[in-house]
Structure 1
Amino acid sequence: MNEAQKQRLLLLAERFDEWLQAINYSPKTRVNYRRDVRIFLEWLSDNIQVSTIAEVTPAHLQQYQMWLYNYERREEGKESKRLSVGTQACRLAAVSKFFTWLASQQQIAYNPASALQPPKRPQSLPANVLTKSEAKRLLEATPTDKPRDQRDRAILEVLYSTGIRRAELLKLTIYDVDFDAGTLRIEHGKGDATRIVPLTDSARAALRLYLEEARGVFAREVGQTRLFVSTRSGAPLDDADIVRIV
């Protein structure tokens, strides 16, 4: 690719930026897109034998994706390091948006980026997960003097003991607790499956205390079988109630 052809490519990047501005993209997003598209176009002009943007193929974009994966940034006095998965994904997203715009402007006959697959970001654990000792202190700090406290302690013990989801907790009935076996039955859980989960001794004790001394104070409606009920109405708890308790 000669210099004139390269400049025509870079001019497309400027027009792309003008379009982003026209449809009200934020200045920060436009800066990032313009930078990432220019990086791609510089790579294209230096590594691929094409004379116009219309000659770019899906294979070329796959080559660019591999180049991003293998690229190592070098800073003076520091070890070189590869681009993060997030950075790779952002640069590919900008290129994909660029080709979508080119297709909408009829600059290209088809969109070679339509099948471009960004790298999957690694799953990471939440930063605010309690340690075992922190969870134990939280449970021990929850009083059990009043019926409401007994209910809240039972909820916390069950969540910590079993790891079930809030939605699963809310669906529990009094018939799902098996004190003899020390288990809890979860019906219609993830994938609409039923499973049995074990209870710790402390969770079993907290549930027994709640059922024997507290639940009857709240669940005044005949036939109410939900395990955890409101202290005010006796109706089943909802998700907002659990969020407040936890």
Structure 2
Amino acid sequence: MDRSCFSDQAADALFPEVPFADERNRYLHHCATLGARPEVLRVKRSELLWIARHLGPEAAAGVGMAELLPIAQARQNIHGAATAIRRVIDIGRPWLKFLGWWREPTVILLYQTQLDRYVAWMRDERGLTPSTVEQWGRRAGRFLLWCEQSNHQLKDLKAEDIDNYIATQGAGRWGRVSIAHVASALRGFLRYAAKETWCSARLAASISRPRLYQQESLPYAPDWSDVQKMLADVDTDRPRDIRDRAILLLLAVYGMRRGEVAALRLDQIDWAGRTLRLFRLKRREAQIYPLVPSVAEALARYVDTVRPPSSCREVFLRMQAPRRPLNVTSIYSIANRRFVALGIRAAHRGAHALRHACAVRLLAQGDRRPSWTPQHRGNKCLRQGEHGSSS
């Protein structure tokens, strides 16, 4: 690659007073190795030159949004483009993070120490999955922030305070399922808090969550005919559609969670043995499933023709630089984008809705047993996907 795409040597010759030349060049070279196109690198080089001219010599001590935003606003005043502020921030913040100079805004809770200990206990002693630790920690953090803002002390909390929290925070926002999840998270935290003598031992027992009935949320799933429309919509030669089709098939045919799709690695696909080895988040163990021909074809097409060369072992990568693995939010967005584009009406329009569609289809075809062995469940679901996913 032409080093002029990411080198600031010419700019340094014209503007010798501009600092941080080495820091800019290192970052641009890093972007180039991640697959950034030459035209993108030129834009980054221009914006970094502007940012560097306005950073003070103490930038290495930390730069936050309070310092970066005025630099971006000054750029817009001169440049005149409405997108100038956003461009400076979008380019400047990753550069500063790369250097370790970015200073994130910190919100320290009054009960931050207690929250940190609770998160560590869930992770290290209970061995909960990272997703569960993050969700329960986030819900406990919101509750502790409410306690702080409403002047409630943990040691003085009463049952009516919990009711008040759910009533005021959930009004117009939380449905029965959400309230049930919040209640479970609060009960778990308050049990731990009681064990640590931070609050009354009777507080957790006073929390009653709404009763959720088995299969009550099944209508939230889209019809299988809508799933087929989504699969047909991505059956094109466009690189992004080739990738998205493989992702949607994994969600709809195997009933995978979005975190399982994002974490799927190349070595989990046994092409010769025609099997797929999945690490199910809830079971915390590997399960072997037959590799459905339609899914195998979609995966092979993506890996062979679209997936960029990368040292990452995850199957699904970003289409643009930096070529990082997709995260769970990206998997949700891929599914949601298809729901919206096709106008499919469903209560939930994301990756988990396709998992529900797989479950609904199993039930509709008569498999109502309360439990399945992993291999039987995989074979049956995949047989159905083999006939239903062709488009």
What TM-score does the superposition give when structure 2 sets the normalisation length? Answer: 0.32
What TM-score does the superposition give when structure 1 sets the normalisation length? Answer: 0.49
Task: Return the index of the structure with the highest Cα Rg.
Answer: 1
